[in-house]
Amino acid sequence: MKAFETEYEAIMAFLDARTYEEKYNMLGMMHEFLSEHMINTLAASMDEVIPEGDLESRFEALRNCISTHRRFEVGRR
């Protein structure tokens, strides 16, 4: 998987990901585009809300949320 050139490209790839495993792996490559807008968009795409706070703590909360989803998606493919 290649690094993303734009925030838009990163968000679209995240939305197109078929599994939470893919979403989790992409998240690390998206760190350079980290913003409130991005975190809110990614969270909303999963019907989640990430609590307010500094960007890094919100990013970690999003990562933890995806990790939780990832644990429970086994066997649903």
Tens of pLDDT, residue by residue over 2-18, are: 688 999 999 999 999 99
Q: Tell me, what's the pLDDT at 51?
A: 96
Are 27 and 2 in contact by the 8 Å Cβ rule? The answer is no
Of 1-5, 9-13, 43-47, 63-67, the poorest mean pLDDT is in 1-5
What predicted TM-score, i.e. pTM, was given to this entire model? 0.87
Domain count, the chain: 1
User: Is residue 23 domain-resident?
Assistant: yes
The span from the CA of 8 to the CA of 1, in Å, is 16
Between CA 8 and CA 69, with CA 66 as vertex, the angle to 5 degrees is: 130
User: Is residue 2 domain-resident?
Assistant: no
Match 């980290």 to its residue by tokens.
34
CA 2 to chain centre: 16
% of the chain residues with pLDDT over 70: 94
User: Is residue 61 domain-resident?
Assistant: yes
Are 26 and 17 in contact by the 8 Å Cβ rule? The answer is yes
Work out the pLDDT band at 45, boundaries 50, 70, 90: very high
Boundaries of domain holding 64? 7-72
User: Is residue 1 domain-resident?
Assistant: no
Instruction: Return the closest-CA partner of residue 55 out of 38, 43, 42, 69.
Output: 38
pLDDT tops 60 at residue 77: no
User: Is residue 11 domain-resident?
Assistant: yes
